[in-house]
Structure 1
Protein backbone atom coordinates (compact mmCIF):
# COMPACT_ATOMS: atom_id res chain seq x y z
CA UNK A 1 0.00 0.00 0.00
CA UNK A 2 2.78 2.40 0.95
CA UNK A 3 4.55 1.72 -2.36
CA UNK A 4 1.33 2.50 -4.31
CA UNK A 5 0.94 5.85 -2.53
CA UNK A 6 4.56 6.79 -3.26
CA UNK A 7 4.15 5.89 -6.95
CA UNK A 8 0.91 7.88 -7.15
CA UNK A 9 2.57 10.93 -5.58
CA UNK A 10 5.51 10.63 -7.98
CA UNK A 11 3.12 10.55 -10.95
CA UNK A 12 1.23 13.62 -9.73
CA UNK A 13 4.51 15.47 -9.19
CA UNK A 14 5.73 14.55 -12.66
CA UNK A 15 2.51 15.84 -14.29
CA UNK A 16 2.76 19.10 -12.34
CA UNK A 17 6.19 19.59 -13.90
CA UNK A 18 4.61 19.85 -17.37
CA UNK A 19 2.53 22.88 -16.44
CA UNK A 20 3.63 25.99 -18.28
CA UNK A 21 3.40 29.48 -16.82
CA UNK A 22 2.26 32.33 -19.03
CA UNK A 23 2.65 36.01 -18.07
CA UNK A 24 0.69 38.89 -19.51
CA UNK A 25 2.45 41.10 -22.04
CA UNK A 26 1.31 44.46 -20.68
CA UNK A 27 2.23 46.38 -23.81
CA UNK A 28 -0.10 44.20 -25.91
CA UNK A 29 -2.99 43.79 -23.45
CA UNK A 30 -5.84 45.95 -22.20
CA UNK A 31 -8.72 45.61 -19.74
CA UNK A 32 -11.62 47.78 -20.92
CA UNK A 33 -15.11 48.48 -19.64
CA UNK A 34 -18.19 50.24 -21.01
CA UNK A 35 -21.16 51.63 -19.10
CA UNK A 36 -24.24 53.54 -20.28
CA UNK A 37 -24.51 57.22 -19.34
CA UNK A 38 -27.90 58.98 -19.05
CA UNK A 39 -29.52 56.08 -20.92
CA UNK A 40 -28.28 57.52 -24.22
CA UNK A 41 -24.57 56.91 -24.69
CA UNK A 42 -21.76 54.63 -23.69
CA UNK A 43 -18.71 55.73 -21.74
CA UNK A 44 -15.58 53.63 -22.10
CA UNK A 45 -12.66 53.24 -19.79
CA UNK A 46 -9.81 50.96 -18.90
CA UNK A 47 -7.50 49.93 -16.11
CA UNK A 48 -3.99 50.92 -17.18
CA UNK A 49 -2.13 48.82 -14.63
CA UNK A 50 -3.00 45.11 -14.84
CA UNK A 51 -1.11 41.96 -14.02
CA UNK A 52 -2.14 38.44 -14.98
CA UNK A 53 -0.70 34.96 -15.18
CA UNK A 54 -2.00 31.55 -16.03
CA UNK A 55 -0.68 28.04 -15.86
CA UNK A 56 -1.68 25.17 -18.09
CA UNK A 57 -0.29 21.77 -18.96
CA UNK A 58 -2.68 21.05 -21.85
CA UNK A 59 -2.24 22.29 -25.41
CA UNK A 60 -5.90 23.38 -25.54
CA UNK A 61 -5.57 25.28 -22.22
CA UNK A 62 -8.60 23.44 -20.80
CA UNK A 63 -6.85 23.06 -17.44
CA UNK A 64 -5.76 26.71 -17.25
CA UNK A 65 -5.65 28.42 -13.89
CA UNK A 66 -5.89 32.18 -14.38
CA UNK A 67 -5.31 35.08 -12.00
CA UNK A 68 -5.66 38.79 -12.71
CA UNK A 69 -5.15 41.93 -10.65
CA UNK A 70 -6.03 45.45 -11.76
CA UNK A 71 -4.95 48.57 -9.88
CA UNK A 72 -8.16 50.56 -9.30
CA UNK A 73 -6.10 53.76 -9.08
CA UNK A 74 -5.11 53.22 -12.72
CA UNK A 75 -8.69 53.65 -13.97
CA UNK A 76 -8.75 55.86 -17.07
CA UNK A 77 -11.78 57.23 -18.94
CA UNK A 78 -9.87 60.07 -20.64
CA UNK A 79 -11.48 62.55 -18.24
CA UNK A 80 -9.43 63.46 -15.18
CA UNK A 81 -12.43 64.70 -13.14
CA UNK A 82 -14.49 61.60 -13.90
CA UNK A 83 -11.54 59.35 -13.05
CA UNK A 84 -11.13 61.15 -9.71
CA UNK A 85 -14.86 60.68 -9.02
CA UNK A 86 -14.71 56.98 -9.91
CA UNK A 87 -11.81 56.51 -7.46
CA UNK A 88 -13.76 58.28 -4.68
CA UNK A 89 -15.96 56.57 -2.06
CA UNK A 90 -18.95 57.34 -4.34
CA UNK A 91 -17.81 54.50 -6.62
CA UNK A 92 -14.70 52.31 -6.23
CA UNK A 93 -13.30 53.87 -3.02
CA UNK A 94 -9.79 53.22 -4.29
CA UNK A 95 -8.16 54.38 -1.05
CA UNK A 96 -9.85 51.47 0.74
CA UNK A 97 -10.22 48.93 -2.12
CA UNK A 98 -7.23 49.53 -4.37
CA UNK A 99 -7.36 46.29 -6.37
CA UNK A 100 -9.78 44.35 -8.49
CA UNK A 101 -8.92 40.63 -8.61
CA UNK A 102 -10.06 37.57 -10.52
CA UNK A 103 -9.22 33.94 -9.77
CA UNK A 104 -10.44 31.22 -12.10
CA UNK A 105 -12.25 28.05 -11.09
CA UNK A 106 -12.61 26.53 -14.56
CA UNK A 107 -11.71 27.14 -18.19
CA UNK A 108 -13.93 24.98 -20.40
CA UNK A 109 -13.79 24.59 -24.15
CA UNK A 110 -17.29 25.06 -25.58
CA UNK A 111 -16.35 24.49 -29.22
CA UNK A 112 -13.44 25.36 -31.46
CA UNK A 113 -11.56 28.30 -30.03
CA UNK A 114 -14.37 29.36 -27.67
CA UNK A 115 -14.23 28.90 -23.91
CA UNK A 116 -16.23 29.70 -20.79
CA UNK A 117 -14.09 31.10 -17.99
CA UNK A 118 -15.63 30.82 -14.53
CA UNK A 119 -14.13 32.31 -11.41
CA UNK A 120 -14.41 34.71 -8.53
CA UNK A 121 -14.21 38.46 -9.12
CA UNK A 122 -13.43 40.65 -6.12
CA UNK A 123 -14.19 44.33 -6.45
CA UNK A 124 -14.95 46.96 -3.82
CA UNK A 125 -14.47 44.33 -1.11
CA UNK A 126 -17.16 42.04 -2.55
CA UNK A 127 -16.44 38.65 -4.14
CA UNK A 128 -18.93 37.18 -6.62
CA UNK A 129 -18.77 34.35 -9.14
CA UNK A 130 -18.67 35.43 -12.78
CA UNK A 131 -18.62 33.58 -16.10
CA UNK A 132 -16.82 35.18 -19.02
CA UNK A 133 -16.62 34.33 -22.71
CA UNK A 134 -13.16 33.72 -24.13
CA UNK A 135 -11.95 33.40 -27.70
CA UNK A 136 -8.48 31.93 -28.14
CA UNK A 137 -6.97 33.89 -31.04
CA UNK A 138 -4.02 31.55 -31.47
CA UNK A 139 -0.35 31.28 -30.67
CA UNK A 140 2.82 32.36 -32.45
CA UNK A 141 6.52 32.66 -31.90
CA UNK A 142 7.44 36.30 -31.37
CA UNK A 143 9.92 37.31 -34.11
CA UNK A 144 12.20 39.26 -31.75
CA UNK A 145 12.08 37.47 -28.40
CA UNK A 146 11.63 33.99 -29.97
CA UNK A 147 9.19 33.20 -27.15
CA UNK A 148 5.79 31.62 -27.66
CA UNK A 149 2.88 34.04 -27.23
CA UNK A 150 -0.86 33.40 -27.11
CA UNK A 151 -3.73 35.84 -27.62
CA UNK A 152 -7.18 35.85 -26.05
CA UNK A 153 -10.27 38.07 -26.15
CA UNK A 154 -12.32 37.93 -22.94
CA UNK A 155 -15.76 39.48 -22.59
CA UNK A 156 -18.72 39.52 -20.26
CA UNK A 157 -21.07 41.69 -18.25
CA UNK A 158 -21.59 42.31 -14.58
CA UNK A 159 -23.79 44.53 -12.44
CA UNK A 160 -21.94 47.20 -10.50
CA UNK A 161 -24.68 47.19 -7.83
CA UNK A 162 -23.87 43.57 -6.96
CA UNK A 163 -20.37 44.72 -5.97
CA UNK A 164 -21.54 47.83 -4.10
CA UNK A 165 -19.98 50.20 -6.66
CA UNK A 166 -21.81 53.52 -7.04
CA UNK A 167 -24.98 52.31 -5.36
CA UNK A 168 -26.13 55.89 -4.59
CA UNK A 169 -25.95 56.79 -8.28
CA UNK A 170 -29.23 56.06 -10.11
CA UNK A 171 -29.03 53.68 -13.07
CA UNK A 172 -30.61 56.43 -15.21
CA UNK A 173 -27.36 58.35 -14.70
CA UNK A 174 -24.85 55.48 -14.81
CA UNK A 175 -26.11 52.12 -16.03
CA UNK A 176 -25.96 49.14 -13.70
CA UNK A 177 -24.63 46.74 -16.36
CA UNK A 178 -20.95 47.05 -17.11
CA UNK A 179 -19.53 45.37 -20.20
CA UNK A 180 -15.98 44.04 -19.86
CA UNK A 181 -13.67 43.37 -22.79
CA UNK A 182 -10.05 42.36 -22.37
CA UNK A 183 -7.60 41.72 -25.15
CA UNK A 184 -4.73 39.82 -23.64
CA UNK A 185 -1.46 38.55 -25.01
CA UNK A 186 0.50 36.15 -22.82
CA UNK A 187 4.15 35.09 -23.04
CA UNK A 188 5.13 31.54 -22.15
CA UNK A 189 8.00 31.36 -19.66
Structure 2
Protein backbone atom coordinates (compact mmCIF):
# COMPACT_ATOMS: atom_id res chain seq x y z
CA UNK A 1 0.00 0.00 0.00
CA UNK A 2 1.19 3.50 -0.80
CA UNK A 3 2.46 5.85 1.89
CA UNK A 4 0.40 9.02 2.38
CA UNK A 5 1.82 12.29 3.72
CA UNK A 6 -0.32 14.79 5.61
CA UNK A 7 0.81 18.36 6.38
CA UNK A 8 -0.58 20.69 9.02
CA UNK A 9 -3.04 23.40 8.02
CA UNK A 10 -1.94 26.21 10.41
CA UNK A 11 -4.94 28.43 9.61
CA UNK A 12 -7.26 25.77 11.08
CA UNK A 13 -5.08 24.51 13.94
CA UNK A 14 -4.27 25.74 17.44
CA UNK A 15 -1.71 24.60 20.01
CA UNK A 16 -3.22 25.80 23.29
CA UNK A 17 -2.50 25.37 26.98
CA UNK A 18 -3.82 26.54 30.37
CA UNK A 19 -2.08 26.90 33.72
CA UNK A 20 -3.51 27.93 37.09
CA UNK A 21 -2.46 31.38 38.22
CA UNK A 22 -2.49 32.27 41.94
CA UNK A 23 -4.19 28.91 42.62
CA UNK A 24 -7.64 30.00 41.39
CA UNK A 25 -7.78 31.27 37.78
CA UNK A 26 -6.42 29.93 34.51
CA UNK A 27 -4.04 31.71 32.17
CA UNK A 28 -4.32 30.53 28.57
CA UNK A 29 -1.60 30.55 25.98
CA UNK A 30 -0.69 29.12 22.62
CA UNK A 31 2.20 28.65 20.25
CA UNK A 32 1.90 30.68 17.06
CA UNK A 33 4.61 28.98 14.99
CA UNK A 34 4.65 25.20 14.71
CA UNK A 35 4.87 22.34 12.25
CA UNK A 36 3.52 18.81 12.16
CA UNK A 37 3.47 15.94 9.71
CA UNK A 38 1.72 12.61 9.61
CA UNK A 39 2.66 9.63 7.47
CA UNK A 40 0.07 6.87 7.04
CA UNK A 41 -0.30 3.67 5.06
CA UNK A 42 -2.95 4.75 2.57
CA UNK A 43 -5.70 6.50 4.55
CA UNK A 44 -5.37 4.25 7.62
CA UNK A 45 -4.32 6.32 10.62
CA UNK A 46 -3.63 3.37 12.93
CA UNK A 47 0.12 3.27 13.60
CA UNK A 48 0.58 6.62 11.83
CA UNK A 49 4.00 8.26 12.16
CA UNK A 50 3.41 11.68 13.72
CA UNK A 51 5.95 14.43 14.38
CA UNK A 52 5.36 17.89 15.81
CA UNK A 53 7.49 20.90 16.74
CA UNK A 54 6.69 24.36 18.12
CA UNK A 55 8.94 27.42 18.19
CA UNK A 56 9.36 28.52 21.81
CA UNK A 57 9.80 32.14 20.67
CA UNK A 58 6.18 32.04 19.41
CA UNK A 59 4.63 31.42 22.87
CA UNK A 60 1.74 33.87 23.32
CA UNK A 61 -0.29 34.45 26.49
CA UNK A 62 -1.50 37.93 25.45
CA UNK A 63 1.00 39.55 27.85
CA UNK A 64 4.42 40.58 26.53
CA UNK A 65 6.14 40.55 29.95
CA UNK A 66 4.81 37.09 30.80
CA UNK A 67 5.75 35.78 27.32
CA UNK A 68 9.29 37.11 27.80
CA UNK A 69 9.49 35.37 31.19
CA UNK A 70 8.27 32.09 29.64
CA UNK A 71 11.02 32.32 26.98
CA UNK A 72 13.69 32.93 29.65
CA UNK A 73 15.83 30.41 31.49
CA UNK A 74 13.24 30.34 34.32
CA UNK A 75 10.93 28.38 32.00
CA UNK A 76 11.57 27.28 28.37
CA UNK A 77 15.06 28.79 27.89
CA UNK A 78 14.34 29.60 24.23
CA UNK A 79 17.90 30.75 23.61
CA UNK A 80 19.32 27.28 24.29
CA UNK A 81 16.21 25.22 23.46
CA UNK A 82 14.37 27.00 20.63
CA UNK A 83 11.92 24.17 19.91
CA UNK A 84 9.55 21.91 21.75
CA UNK A 85 9.18 18.58 19.90
CA UNK A 86 6.96 15.51 19.97
CA UNK A 87 7.49 12.24 18.10
CA UNK A 88 4.81 9.56 18.34
CA UNK A 89 5.83 6.00 19.10
CA UNK A 90 2.24 4.72 18.89
CA UNK A 91 -1.07 5.90 17.44
CA UNK A 92 -3.63 3.31 18.47
CA UNK A 93 -7.30 3.11 17.50
CA UNK A 94 -9.61 2.71 20.49
CA UNK A 95 -12.91 2.88 18.56
CA UNK A 96 -14.39 4.70 15.55
CA UNK A 97 -13.67 8.30 16.62
CA UNK A 98 -11.08 7.71 19.32
CA UNK A 99 -7.36 7.07 19.27
CA UNK A 100 -4.59 7.16 21.84
CA UNK A 101 -1.25 8.76 21.05
CA UNK A 102 1.96 7.92 22.88
CA UNK A 103 5.32 9.48 22.19
CA UNK A 104 8.30 11.44 23.40
CA UNK A 105 7.70 15.06 24.34
CA UNK A 106 10.96 17.02 24.44
CA UNK A 107 10.98 20.34 26.26
CA UNK A 108 14.11 22.21 27.33
CA UNK A 109 16.33 19.23 26.48
CA UNK A 110 14.30 16.78 28.59
CA UNK A 111 12.46 13.97 26.83
CA UNK A 112 9.60 12.09 28.52
CA UNK A 113 7.03 9.62 27.23
CA UNK A 114 3.43 10.90 27.35
CA UNK A 115 0.07 9.40 26.36
CA UNK A 116 -3.01 11.42 25.42
CA UNK A 117 -6.49 10.63 24.13
CA UNK A 118 -7.19 11.83 20.57
CA UNK A 119 -10.54 12.61 19.00
CA UNK A 120 -10.37 11.71 15.29
CA UNK A 121 -12.74 13.48 12.86
CA UNK A 122 -12.40 11.02 10.02
CA UNK A 123 -11.38 12.02 6.51
CA UNK A 124 -13.33 14.84 4.88
CA UNK A 125 -13.14 16.82 1.66
CA UNK A 126 -13.34 20.60 1.96
CA UNK A 127 -15.25 22.81 -0.55
CA UNK A 128 -12.03 23.30 -2.58
CA UNK A 129 -11.41 19.58 -3.04
CA UNK A 130 -8.68 19.16 -0.41
CA UNK A 131 -8.70 15.94 1.59
CA UNK A 132 -8.44 16.74 5.29
CA UNK A 133 -8.43 15.10 8.69
CA UNK A 134 -8.92 16.66 12.12
CA UNK A 135 -7.41 15.61 15.43
CA UNK A 136 -8.29 17.04 18.86
CA UNK A 137 -5.94 16.28 21.72
CA UNK A 138 -6.54 17.10 25.37
CA UNK A 139 -4.24 16.10 28.16
CA UNK A 140 -2.25 17.15 31.18
CA UNK A 141 1.44 17.30 31.98
CA UNK A 142 3.37 18.44 35.03
CA UNK A 143 5.73 21.20 33.87
CA UNK A 144 8.29 20.27 36.55
CA UNK A 145 8.85 16.91 34.80
CA UNK A 146 10.60 18.93 32.05
CA UNK A 147 12.57 21.23 34.36
CA UNK A 148 10.15 24.18 34.13
CA UNK A 149 10.47 24.71 37.87
CA UNK A 150 10.22 28.47 38.48
CA UNK A 151 7.59 29.60 40.95
CA UNK A 152 6.89 32.20 43.59
CA UNK A 153 5.24 31.60 46.97
CA UNK A 154 2.15 33.64 47.76
CA UNK A 155 1.80 35.42 51.11
CA UNK A 156 -1.61 33.77 51.50
CA UNK A 157 -0.14 30.30 50.93
CA UNK A 158 0.19 28.36 47.72
CA UNK A 159 2.15 29.35 44.64
CA UNK A 160 1.85 31.81 41.78
CA UNK A 161 2.02 29.29 38.90
CA UNK A 162 0.38 25.86 38.94
CA UNK A 163 2.44 22.77 38.09
CA UNK A 164 -0.27 21.14 35.98
CA UNK A 165 -0.43 22.29 32.36
CA UNK A 166 -3.62 21.39 30.51
CA UNK A 167 -3.20 20.95 26.77
CA UNK A 168 -5.94 21.78 24.29
CA UNK A 169 -4.74 21.07 20.76
CA UNK A 170 -6.79 21.28 17.56
CA UNK A 171 -5.04 20.04 14.44
CA UNK A 172 -6.20 19.98 10.85
CA UNK A 173 -4.09 18.16 8.27
CA UNK A 174 -4.18 18.26 4.46
CA UNK A 175 -3.40 15.19 2.37
CA UNK A 176 -0.41 15.81 0.10
CA UNK A 177 -0.51 14.79 -3.56
Task: Please indicate the TM-score interval, normalised by the length of the shorter structure.
Answer: over 0.9
Are 2:1 and 1:23 equivalent residues in the alignment? no
Q: Post-superposition shift, 1:58?
A: 5.0
Q: What does the per-residue CA deviation read over 1:98-132, in whole Å, with 9 as the maximum and x for residues that have no partner?
A: 10000000001112211110000000110000001
User: What secondary structure sits across from 2:150 in the alignment?
Assistant: coil
Query: Any stretches of 5+ residues in structure 2 without a counterpart?
Result: 153-157
Q: Post-superposition shift, 1:19?
A: 1.4
Question: Whole-Å Cα distance in 2 between the matches of residues 83 and 143 of structure 1?
Answer: 37
User: What secondary structure sits across from 1:64 in the alignment?
Assistant: strand
Are 2:119 and 1:135 equivalent residues in the alignment? yes
Higher helix share: 1
Question: Whole-Å Cα distance in 1 between the matches of residues 107 and 83 of structure 2?
Answer: 7
Counterpart of 1:117 in structure 2 is 101
Counterpart of 1:188 in structure 2 is 175
Counterpart of 2:147 in structure 1 is 164
Conserved? CA contact 2:18–2:166, under 8 Å: yes
Question: Whole-Å Cα distance in 2 between the matches of residues 59 and 155 of structure 1?
Answer: 23
Q: Post-superposition shift, 1:60?
A: 4.0
Q: What does the per-residue CA deviation read over 1:33-86, in whole Å, with 9 as the maximum and x for residues that have no partner?
A: 000011110000000001000011154410211000000000000001110111
Are 2:72 and 1:88 equivalent residues in the alignment? yes
Higher strand share: 2
Structure with higher Rg: it is 1
Question: Whole-Å Cα distance in 1 between the matches of residues 105 and 47 of structure 2?
Answer: 19
Number of positions where the alignment pairs a residue of Structure 1 with one of Structure 2: 171
User: What secondary structure sits across from 1:90 in the alignment?
Assistant: coil
Question: Whole-Å Cα distance in 2 between the matches of residues 65 and 80 of structure 1?
Answer: 35
Are 2:27 and 1:43 equivalent residues in the alignment? yes
- Calculate the TM-score normalised by the size of structure 1: 0.87
- Calculate the TM-score normalised by the size of structure 2: 0.93
Which structure carries more relative contact order (alpha carbon 8 Å, separation 6+)?
2
- Coordinate RMSD, CA, aligned: 1.2
Which residue, out of 73, 96, 116, partners 2:57?
73
Which residue, out of 149, 153, 163, partners 1:176?
163
Misfit runs of 4+, over 3 Å: none
